[in-house]
Amino acid sequence: MDFFTILTFLGGIAFFLFGMDTMGKYLEKLSGGKLETVLAKLTSKRITAVTLGALVTAVLQSSTTTSVMVVGLVNSGIMKLSQAVGVLMGANIGTTITAWILSLAGMGNEAPFILQLFKPASLAGILGIVGILMRMLAKKEKRKDIGTILLGFSLLMFGMTTMAGAVAPLAELPEVQEILVRFKNPILGVLAGLVLTVLVQSSATSIGILQAFCVTGAVTYSVAIPIIMGQNIGTCFKALISAVGASKNAKRASFVHLYFNLIGTVLFLAVFYAANAVFGFAFVEDAAGADKIAMIHSLFNIGTTVVLFPFASLIEKLATLTVKDVKKSDENEKKEFKLLDVRFLDTPTFAIEQCKAVTLNMANIAKAALFTAVEIISSYDKNKAERVVQLEEDADVYEDELGSYLVKVANKRLSKKDSNAVAKILHCISDFERISDHALNIKEAAEEMNRKDIHFSGEALKELEVLVRAVENIVSETVEAFATENTEIARKVEPLEQVIDDLTQQIKGRHIDRLVKGKCTIELGFVLTDLITNYERISDHCSNIAIAVIQMNKDVEGAHEYLDRIRTGGDREYSKEYMADEETYALPVVSEE
């Protein structure tokens, strides 16, 4: 075995790892965050959780990815620990699909032509050709992504073939036989499989390497079985690392995965070696082919799931005892931001959905700040004033947390749609934060009136009530439009914004008339002007958010065309809404006295 053989073998591993990574990432991208959503919503029953865990892992071709995904979902509170147990059990079953695909490498040339097309060497070529053609010729991004997935699968197969070709000459070396014989010792075999999986960060890859060594004929069942057991334990390593710094339940989820594989390994090895001691299995020293490796891998994972499924609650309890409850003061603060989990950054579309959910919380905080501030204009309440201050500070924190997280999302490889969504959410959080700032300004105006013991006239109060109703309505419609991504509701915002602009001008004019007649003071005039200016600015921010909602659901050009039609008077629906709002929020008739 010379330098170039080692280089070829390591190159095969590199192709295999890159292919696996590329395929997994683009499959997640193509799913549009739906896999996480499905896992979170449809795993209330444990048997369903096992099934979905197996299916998701089979799609992603990685139990490690699924386990890290589950840790993130539990950490953010989207998934309960009891749901995670079933998903993690299913992940072990789903990961066996890769081994069966790779086992086709051992197929002989005497196999039928159709079956030989599925050999890794053949599949690598077929999928590579189709994949590169789709990447080069497809115009739609989805089809390009599918092409990339096929190229990743092709590289995976090519890497497997390269590894097998590199180790084939080792069949003649007695030194290799001697090394592999050492792994007949169950402890050494388990440790070897564990270390290999931790190093390559993928149980599928380590299984592939073991299957590649099968061409030497030196991998017997007595060698393969403990190594496969160790590989299943090694696949828990990344989930354990990802749980560092996470919530207690996220840590427990990672330990559930570890205990499941540890207990399964101990049971499997104990039963196997005890039965071998009694019955003396003749096949133990036979060479294990790639297909037999896949079979052992499947028997272990499916068998362990079947045996331990009734004891899932006990495994959950064991994990709970390992990671004990902590005092509330020790809990990670800002629970509302756990949806912004860094583990979701590997699936940007899902991360963006979590950002929308957190932004909606921020929107409701800004809305509550405004509505509370408005209440203390006519009837000052110190507790409510303090609540406005707290809500405004909360909105500031939301803006910082969301802004930082969205920047991280933006640094990922995003589709045009996702990139546009990130930009619009960034604009929206800025507008929601400004609404809370204006609520704080309104609170300060109320405090000034209370401190100086000054009050608006009856006419001014009635006019402000109309304006406030319009502003509260536009804010409510804006929050609803953002929450539901409903463009029809969003389109109602712009005409109401124009009505509010008109109202502020009318109220300013009426105030001047009252000032001339001596019905109002200059001091109150300053307060009134400050109030209606804040109300007008709030409606402007609502308009910005509504346009962003339209842009998130349609292309940018569509939103611009909508604004152009409004400015030129060509949008009949806008005109109809404007007239209706103008009638609804008409100011009371001015007294002639």
Non-local CB neighbours of 489 within 8 Å, separated by 6+ positions? 477, 480, 481
Looking at the predicted structure, is the pLDDT value of residue 355 above 50?
A: yes
Q: Which residue has better confidence, 262 or 342?
A: 262
Contact 536, 500 (CB under 8 A): yes
Contact 214, 178 (CB under 8 A): no
Q: Which residue has better confidence, 375 or 39?
A: 375
The pLDDT score that the predictor gives to residue 376 is 92
The pLDDT score that the predictor gives to residue 387 is 95
Residue 225 within a domain: yes
The pLDDT score that the predictor gives to residue 307 is 93
Are 208 and 77 found together in one domain?
Answer: yes
Place of tokens 């965050």: 33
Among 118-132, 170-184, 252-266, 550-564, which stretch is predicted with the lowest mean pLDDT?
550-564
Are 372 and 265 found together in one domain?
Answer: no
Looking at the predicted structure, is the pLDDT value of residue 439 above 80?
A: yes
CA distance 71 to 64: 11
pLDDT digits (tens, 9 = 90+) for 553-578: 654 445 556 666 665 555 678 888 88
Residue 572 within a domain: yes
The CATH number assigned to the domain holding 522 equals 1.20.58.220
The pLDDT score that the predictor gives to residue 381 is 92
Domain extent for 126: 3-328
CA distance 95 to 90: 9
Burial 102-141 (b: 16+ CB within 10 A, else e): bbbbbbeeeeeeeeeeebbbbbbeebbebbeebbeeeeee
Non-local CB neighbours of 487 within 8 Å, separated by 6+ positions? 481, 549, 550, 553, 554
pLDDT band for 168, please (50, 70, 90 cuts). low
Are 383 and 507 found together in one domain?
Answer: no
Average pLDDT over the chain, rounded to an integer:
84
The pLDDT score that the predictor gives to residue 327 is 52
The pLDDT score that the predictor gives to residue 115 is 64
pLDDT digits (tens, 9 = 90+) for 454-505: 888 888 888 899 999 999 999 999 999 999 988 889 989 999 999 999 999 9
Contact 553, 485 (CB under 8 A): yes
Are 274 and 195 found together in one domain?
Answer: yes
Are 514 and 582 found together in one domain?
Answer: yes
Are 363 and 463 found together in one domain?
Answer: no
Q: Which residue among 407, 432, 453 closes a domain?
A: 453
Residue 40 within a domain: yes
Residue 341 within a domain: no
Residue 94 within a domain: yes
Place of tokens 């009530």: 465
Are 448 and 462 found together in one domain?
Answer: no
Contact 494, 543 (CB under 8 A): yes
What is the number of other CB atoms lying within 10 angstroms of the CB of residue 403? 14
Residue 259 within a domain: yes
Place of tokens 């804006």: 478
Place of tokens 């095969």: 12
**Strand residues in 532-588 grouped as ranges (E):** none
Are 247 and 385 found together in one domain?
Answer: no
Are 271 and 260 found together in one domain?
Answer: yes
The pLDDT score that the predictor gives to residue 228 is 92
Residue 584 within a domain: yes
CA distance 548 to 556: 9
Are 230 and 240 found together in one domain?
Answer: yes
The pLDDT score that the predictor gives to residue 329 is 43
Are 162 and 278 found together in one domain?
Answer: yes
453 DSSP 8-state letter:
T
pLDDT digits (tens, 9 = 90+) for 230-254: 988 998 888 888 787 777 888 899 9
Are 35 and 181 found together in one domain?
Answer: yes
- Terminal C-alpha separation, the chain: 108
Q: Which residue has better confidence, 196 or 179?
A: 196
Q: Which residue among 400, 432, 453 closes a domain?
A: 453
pLDDT band for 107, please (50, 70, 90 cuts). low
pLDDT digits (tens, 9 = 90+) for 510-552: 878 777 777 677 777 888 889 999 999 999 999 999 998 888 7
Looking at the predicted structure, is the pLDDT value of residue 332 above 50?
A: no
Among 27-31, 361-365, 445-449, which stretch is predicted with the lowest mean pLDDT?
27-31
User: What is the 3 state secondary structure string of 108-122?
Assistant: CCCCCHHHHCCCHHH
pTM of the complete model: 0.73
The pLDDT score that the predictor gives to residue 584 is 92
Total domains present in the chain: 3
Residue 81 within a domain: yes
The pLDDT score that the predictor gives to residue 174 is 63
76 DSSP 8-state letter:
T
The pLDDT score that the predictor gives to residue 235 is 86
Q: Which residue among 434, 453, 472 closes a domain?
A: 453
